Chain A
């Protein structure tokens, strides 16, 4: 076990580095003055709070639109046609887009990602549990794991949506009235199909989820700094028993228990 004083480092230099950086943590034994202890507590609860907030954002994003498609054609002069995609479904001018799509033999939009939409809520809850457990338990080696897994939600959404777009654009009914070459509708920015100008862009739900991932990434970074300066860093394995769970993780935080004799 290294001496606590060894991790008492970088105080001056980092502070000089400016407040905009994530503060280099000082893992010092709890003192009677309680100042380092307070900082420790703030860090710990900060990480937990950020994680819970991020998971809350994930959950809330279910209620928000994730992606927005516009289709503009002369026949729709007021506002074109709109499709608003969320994790659980698609809304907007669905009937009319289906109606137009039937000419080229495209499937109904409701037939896309049925499974994904059904499991969306459960998947987010499961993801939340995993991220939360990891946050509580992950050791130095896996400090970035929770954020990486969480990133799977927005990235997975984009990948899955693209896959469905591609599939719809490629599995056209051979008996359709209008025969067109297989295509993948644009997922980002502008495109053109027939007389339609299309435009696609992420929506608030996606941005909220991406923000949640960013928050988790920051939390992970902070976490990694904690680990780097942890008294148990040398022996730390897959599971951290100091920060949140384990015998050493009392109220005072890591490093607070051993030096009782001081």
Chain B
């Protein structure tokens, strides 16, 4: 239908091109226009003190408005409790998704339907509104990102959140009532059957009090296998189960893929089981946990575990089926392998054949080979057993080799050319190495104290290459001062050339991001708006959704006022809500908007109500009108030219005061000029 316009546009373009060509062909202009341009760039470089490398980096990362980044990063927001969404190569922040912490812009956790997500995410009856967000993980199909969901764990309170990438909203937070902290999360199995969450600091399962001198007997670790119901887009706690683990401090985890599908790998430290006691003159955990030369890599056959769980060989703790470590050990579900001192990082290679583990106090990346491990387990060839009777495999016979790559290798990601990129914390460097031939290729200094590292789809079965991001804990001299709390530093690294090159530094001023993942932009299909009346948490049209002309205030239940309300530029209908002190007020607000990016906000003075009403969204808010007074309500987004006029009043009259009008809304003052009908938006049919 736009053909005609297209033809016109083409004709116009042809005309412009014709003119330009004609101008270019005109002989009078001497050669030198190009020189002029480069000279102006040169003077610009001089003026700004930029090197040629800087300019090249700028050209590689600049994304003009209207053009899109090639990749999207989902980064942990650290202590902020949120997830950051950024573009690559621009490294621009696109969104902060409210996850564990109320987020006012999205109206997340301020009276609307989202409040239930956050309120339901407390531990043991305590409301928790922050999180130590660690590892965002994208949902996978056949080991590759599918762009549908994001899972992220809160280390501090052992919780896992589900973010729906249709609308980039947090839809669910599940609380692990068995453990007190987690770290190895929220890693997914290759088809996202399970989201794996492993505990960090051992504690009695079920969060009960047990004296710390019973640490060895009663304190435990745990690997939770949260069952993900992709159809519903939710984790199903009833179908989830866990494996009890010894009280070694389990750390990072990864799921096997391709040949190693059905297996999971978790590293651990503090196999010494040090419990501190500094006031009693005992060594702190930091040294107590660093005495052994070897800690344990946990190898879990989760498909076998799943079978045992289905057979009922579990005990139930706080409603969750838990496979004891004895049962797990006896059935070949749980096996240990030594790993070099204070290991960190646990990353399965794209081909699923190897598992790479770093060491915070080691200089090697250790490459475990799955086939070797499997052969040892199948042959029941053990080096011995630990104190809990869990079989231990020979370290030497399980590994393919070790590569000396620097001080404090942590995490490893991969590119499409068989290269591994490992963050090297103490060296503050990224090591690029050939993981097939176990050969260090190159090291690139980063700034500073790199923790996690991330590559484009770098933990999937088919990494993309091109980019690696160093997630640095310190920025020290990289940015201008903003007080003693320094931003973290994301460094974008170009891996396409022979040598790795840093393209940009991006300050992260909201928390300490741990892990992140980078996905090709075309795998994401985000919504532009919702069908009118959508409840984004329940899915589908909310039963309380209202259409134009059907707005009403229902007072049929004593002490309850239900307001069926709509929002569209630039008015709320109704715009006056008169209630009596003590009434419970339920606002059911539907945005009637169906234009892209036409978002309204909603707030009521004093009641801590704050909503974001994206086009089509429906929200339900309940508050008790406990204090008589006049409370303006208004739209908090600059939605339109008459945004400031998108307002109204909640009037709370003192208990026992008669309502001013039969309908419950105050009649307009007599002196006022006859105003437009309050329902200006209602159809005039």
Contact = CB atoms under 8 A, between A and B. Distances in A.
A110 B1 contact: no
Contacts of B684: 107-108, 111
A111 B685 CA distance: 7
A96 B676 contact: no
Contacts of A175: 674-677, 680
Interface string A132-158: 000000000000000000000000000
B538 interface: no
B595 A177 contact: no
A96 B642 contact: no
A102 interface: yes
B326 interface: no
A99 B569 contact: yes
A156 B2 CA distance: 25
Nearest to A203: B1
Contact of A201 (B4, B595, B683): B4
Nearest to A107: B684
Contact of B595 (A96, A110, A111, A176): A96
B1 A102 contact: no
Interface in B1-24: 1-2, 4-5
Contacts of B641: 103
Interface residues of A, number: 25
B681 interface: yes
Interface string B558-575: 000000000011100000
Given A175-B675, A175-B676, A102 B595 contact: no
A93 B674 CA distance: 32
B596 interface: yes
A102 B684 CA distance: 11
B622 interface: no
A71 to B, nearest CB: 12
A166 B593 CA distance: 27
A110 B684 CA distance: 10
Interface in B569-628: 569-570, 592-596
Interface residues of B, number: 24
B685 A70 contact: no
A84 interface: yes
A108 B683 contact: yes
Interface string B539-570: 00000000000000000000000000000111
B2 A79 contact: yes
A68 interface: yes
Contact of B681 (A79, A93, A102, A199): A102
A70 B5 contact: yes
A107 B683 CA distance: 9
B676 A173 contact: yes
A193 interface: no
A98 to B, nearest CB: 9
Interface string A79-112: 1001010000000010110010011000110110
Nearest to A201: B4
A173 B680 CA distance: 10
Interface string A153-195: 0000000000000000000010111000000000000000000
A195 to B, nearest CB: 10
A78 interface: yes
Nearest to A77: B66
Contacts of A65: 1
A11 B596 CA distance: 68
A50 to B, nearest CB: 28
Contacts of A176: 676
A79 B592 CA distance: 21
A99 B568 contact: yes
B169 to A, nearest CB: 23
Interface in A193-216: 199, 201, 203
Nearest to A93: B595
A217 B674 CA distance: 57
A173 B679 CA distance: 13
A27 B431 CA distance: 98
A103 B642 contact: yes
A5 to B, nearest CB: 54
- Which residue, A76, A111, A177, A199, has most C-beta atoms of chain B within 10 A? A177
A76 B5 CA distance: 16
A103 B641 CA distance: 10
Interface string B639-654: 0011001000000000
A76 B595 CA distance: 9
Contacts of B685: 108, 110-111
B64 to A, nearest CB: 14
A99 B676 contact: no
A60 to B, nearest CB: 17
Nearest to B2: A79
Given A70-B5, A110-B683, A111-B684, A99 B675 contact: no
A175 B681 CA distance: 12
Nearest to B569: A99
Interface in B157-193: none
Contacts of B681: 102
A95 B568 CA distance: 11
Interface of B: 1-2, 4-5, 568-570, 592-596, 641-642, 645, 674-677, 680-681, 683-685
Q: Which 4 A-B residue pairings sit nearest by Cβ, starting from the closest?
A: A175-B676, A96-B595, A95-B594, A108-B683
7 contacts: A93-B595, A95-B594, A96-B595, A99-B593, A103-B641, A175-B677, A177-B676
Given A102-B680, A103-B641, A108-B683, 19 more contacts: A65-B1, A68-B1, A78-B596, A93-B595, A95-B592, A96-B594, A99-B569, A102-B681, A103-B569, A103-B642, A107-B684, A110-B683, A175-B674, A175-B677, A175-B680, A176-B676, A177-B570, A177-B642, A201-B4
